[in-house]
Amino acid sequence: MRAAGLLVLISSALALTACRTQGDAVRPTPAPAATPAPSPTPPSLSFTLPPSAKAAPINVTTLKTVTRVLSSNAFEGRAPTTPAETKTVAYIIDQMKKAGLKPGNKGSWTQDVPLVELTHSPDMALDIAGGTRPLHFAYKTDMVVGTYQVVPHSEVRDSEMIFVGYGINAPEKGWNDYAGIDVHGKTVVILINDPDYEMQGLDGPFNGRAMTYYGRWTYKFEEAARQGAAAAIIVHDTFPAAYPWGVVVSSWTGPQLGIDAPNNHMDQSKAIGWITLDAAKATFAAAGKDFAALSDAAKRPGFRAVPLGLTASIAFDNKIRRQASRNIIGILPGKTRPGEYVLYSAHWDHLGRCEPVKGDDICNGALDNASGTAGLIALAQAQVKAGAAGRSMLFLSVTAEESGLLGSEYYARNPVYPLGKTVGGVNMDGLNVFGPTHDVTIVGGGKSELEAFLNRAVRDEGRIVVPEATPEKGSFYRSDHFSFAKLGVPMVYAESGEDMINGGVAAGHAAAEDYVTNRYHKPQDEYDPHWNWAGAVQDLQIYYRIGRELANSDVWPNWYPSAEFRTARDQSRVGAKEIDEAKAPKP
């Protein structure tokens, strides 16, 4: 039995606060040791693996220098849209130039990312009428509500409430919680996670214990909007959510940053938010319904939405501020297939100024994610030194990850290079600075053929792959690779395991717990000259091999048929082939 992976333990804790914005000041609880879920046997590959790539030297001086500089007080925590962004972007561009990359956006190093900040007035309440007694739910105590719509005032009045179970519409799984009911203009009440989250194994319509994207709160609101709901309210429950109510409150209060859009996001619901479990139980009781019984029914196939016979009302004002940030794009052009791309990504941003600790109010973000940015530069150096491969390689440093994966989301929705021509990629969100390990964990493993490249690279490095210990936390959906995955691009997100060469699992767990408890999202996440970079080098060697092998091959890894992203990939590849055929010379 193994505990959670070293950086996966950290990323699981990071995931607790990855709800909506960078405004979290709540310290996450370190994840307990857990029994890893069994590894499913993957389907056979649709291609033959190309030859292994040789290892390449990773410049440790680059890792140290870039991390130290970007996490210094001079960069003020690297918050997007602040003067510190200008300094950060200039430094990363300079490092990409020195590494030998070319500007990746039609002669420019950057891609503008339009952002909009909404601050909701706190003097709001959620009022429920029509039941055995009226209910008045207070902001923060009982509920938090906001909106994606960019409007000065949001209001929902006397909106009929409907319980839609887990709020899932998954045709490929034969599951539709919205079947047979029209929710246009109504308020839907939704359970968090997916129907089979309590299962111990990975079998079940929604992968059992392992969370699918259908279990994420972001999906719940997306689907509610597609169904035309005026408002969508998720019932918070700590166990299936994997984070306490305090995290929801801290994430959903204060300024909320999002991607700006020409339609002001008017295709979204007027109001979205959460209510506590106690508030939900009181609501169902007022409707004469048994919350526990209906929640249990929602876990079974064939569940149908239940009108509650209640109405919901809420109103609040929104302060609007528009601004812009930048993604940074470098490219190593390919020799023989330059119109096909292998992607490396890491976010450059952090929290900027934050809650002071002993007079220090700069959240430097050394591990999160100056180290990942340093890894991006070190990989660029290694790939350039090895020479151009057949395919092009993209090195993407994205903004506003801490605000909800906004930079990567914007690039994926507005790609400089077509996603249908992007072969696959590797994302880095925090390197292992605690020492080398025997093991590697694939976050969200068992989803794509790209993992075959990683598995072989791990073996070539003399290490082993271990299953993710807490797949129910949905960590795969909480970093920048997900922005590409949900639009079809196969992405790998792997981390050092916890079985350290010096000290074993106990040492790995202690290092991760110390970071989570004392440094994560605090001013204490600072560069340490005594860090052991051998673990980072181990992992970067694997990422180097994956990129090199992909770039020197003609294979197109896909998601396995059971993965929720397979359809998006198939559609993007069909589109890319149609474009190629249209451009081909006519006989």
pLDDT tens digits, the chain, 587 residues: what are they? 233 445 555 554 444 444 454 333 222 223 333 444 445 566 788 888 999 998 889 999 999 999 999 999 999 999 999 999 999 999 999 999 999 999 999 999 999 999 999 999 999 999 999 999 999 999 999 999 999 999 999 999 999 999 999 999 999 889 999 999 999 999 999 999 999 888 766 677 887 888 888 999 999 999 999 999 999 999 999 989 888 898 899 889 888 999 999 999 999 999 999 999 999 999 999 999 999 999 999 999 999 999 999 999 999 999 999 999 999 999 999 999 999 999 999 999 998 988 788 899 999 999 999 999 999 999 999 999 999 999 999 999 999 999 999 999 999 999 999 999 999 999 999 999 999 999 999 998 889 999 999 999 999 999 999 988 778 888 888 899 999 999 999 999 998 999 999 999 999 989 988 888 888 888 999 999 999 999 999 999 999 999 999 999 999 999 998 888 999 999 999 877 766 766 655 54
What is the model's pLDDT at position 7? Answer: 57
Bond from prior residue into 369 cis (ω within 30 degrees of 0):
yes
What is the model's pLDDT at position 35? Answer: 42
Per-domain residue ranges of the chain: 6-16+62-114+325-576, 117-321
Q: Do 6-16+62-114+325-576 and 117-321 have matching folds?
A: no
- Backbone phi and psi for residue 211, each to the nearest 5 degrees, phi listed first: -70, 140
* Per-residue model confidence as pLDDT tens digits over 318-360: 999 999 999 999 999 999 999 999 999 999 999 898 878 889 9
What is the model's pLDDT at position 209? Answer: 82
What is the model's pLDDT at position 327? Answer: 99
Superfamily of domain 6-16+62-114+325-576: Zn peptidases (3.40.630.10)
Which residues in 477-538 belong to E strands, given as ranges? 491-492, 494-496
Look at domain 117-321 and name its CATH class: alpha beta
> Which residues neighbour 362 within 8 Å (Cβ) at sequence distance 6 or greater?
73, 76, 77, 352, 353, 354, 523
Coil, helix or strand at residue 223: helix
Give how far the C-alpha of residue 134 lies from the chain's centroid of Cα atoms, to the nearest Å: 39
Q: Which two tokens stand for residue 201?
A: 């194994």
What is the model's pLDDT at position 470? Answer: 79
Task: Let me know: does 147 contact 312? Beta carbons within 8 Å.
Answer: no
- Backbone phi and psi for residue 85, each to the nearest 5 degrees, phi listed first: -60, -45
DSSP string, 396-433: EEES-STTTSHHHHHHHHS-SS-GGGEEEEEEESS---
What is the model's pLDDT at position 88? Answer: 98
Task: Let me know: does 377 contact 62? Beta carbons within 8 Å.
Answer: yes
Please give the span between the terminal C-alpha atoms of the chain, in angstroms, as a whole number.
62
> Which residues neighbour 416 within 8 Å (Cβ) at sequence distance 6 or greater?
104, 105, 106, 111, 329
Q: Which two tokens stand for residue 584?
A: 């081909």
What is the model's pLDDT at position 586? Answer: 52
What is the model's pLDDT at position 16? Answer: 41
Q: Which two tokens stand for residue 327?
A: 């993604």
Produce one character per residue of 103-140: b if its CB has 16 or more CB atoms within 10 Å, e if not.
bbbeeebbbebbbbbbebeeebbbbbebbeeebebebe
Amino acid at 330: G
> Which residues neighbour 555 within 8 Å (Cβ) at sequence distance 6 or greater?
47, 48, 49, 50, 423
What is the model's pLDDT at position 42? Answer: 65
